[in-house]
Amino acid sequence: MTPDPSRFRIELAGQAHAHINRLVTRAEQRGLRPLLLEVLRHLMENLETRPRDWGDPYINYHTLNAVGYGRTIVRAGLRVGYAVHETEPVVWVTAVKVLFGSPFE
């Protein structure tokens, strides 16, 4: 089965993998697994289908031919950092940070 060409491929970069692992651990410890699953589904759907509209652009990575974006998921107290390639359908998630007051804090 070939991938849907209208969807973006998502890759983890930088500390994103470690951030997500910590979130999973905290969610399990605090009984927040349903919230985390809902947030991750929402995150993936938006990054796969409309990453340029979903986040706020804040930096141009000229040498990578990409733009960096950020999005705060208020109900979960998380800040997602990611970059979108300018010509290829690729998104690199670079960070998933827990904000002050988050249930995952």
Q: What topology is assigned to 9-98 in CATH?
A: YaeB-like fold (3.30.2310)
Average pLDDT over residues 20-42: 96
Average pLDDT over residues 15-40: 96
Look up the pTM and report it: 0.91
Q: How far apart are the C-alpha atoms of 31 and 10, rounded to whole Å?
A: 27
Exposure string for 27-50, b = 16+ CB within 10 A, e = fewer: beeeebeeebeebbeebeebbbee
Write down the mean pLDDT value for the chain: 94
Q: How far apart are the C-alpha atoms of 19 and 31, rounded to whole Å?
A: 18
Average pLDDT over residues 37-45: 96
Computed on alpha carbons and rounded to an integer, the radius of gyration of the chain in Å comes to 14
Query: In this predicted model, what pLDDT tens digit does every residue of 55-65 receive, in sequence order?
Result: 999 999 999 99
